[in-house]
Amino acid sequence: MNGGAVPEIPKPPTVYFHSWPGETILSSPAPGQPGLWLVKVRVPQMTNHSSGATPITVLFDGVNSNTATVWVQ
C-alpha cells in the first residue's frame, strides 16, 4: 500500500420485484456478449401480490434502471 485511495467496489445490483428485493446470486459480465451484464436473482416472496405481470427494476451503485416486466406465478 502506498497510501493511495482504496478503490471502492460497488455492491452487487439489487433487483426489485414490485418493491420486494430479490436475492442476488450472481452478477457478472455476460460471457461472450460485450456490453451486457448478467444477473442471477431469486424471485422473492411477494406478500399480497398475485401472480402475473410483475414490474422489475434494478438498483446498482445508487442508480435505478428502467422498469421492465416479468411474469411470475
When asked if residue 19 is in the footprint of another protein (CB under 8 A), the reply is no
> What CA–CA distance (Å, rounded) separates 34 from 14?
21
Interatomic CA distance for residues 26 and 3, integer angstroms: 32
Q: How far is the CB of 39 from another protein (least distance, A)?
A: 5
Residues 40-69 that bind another protein (CB under 8 A): 40-45, 51-53, 56-69
Residue 38 sits in the site that holds another protein (CB under 8 A): yes
Check binding of 35 to another protein (CB under 8 A). Answer: yes
Q: Give me the half-sphere count of Cα atoms (radius 13 Å) on the Cβ side of residue 58.
A: 16
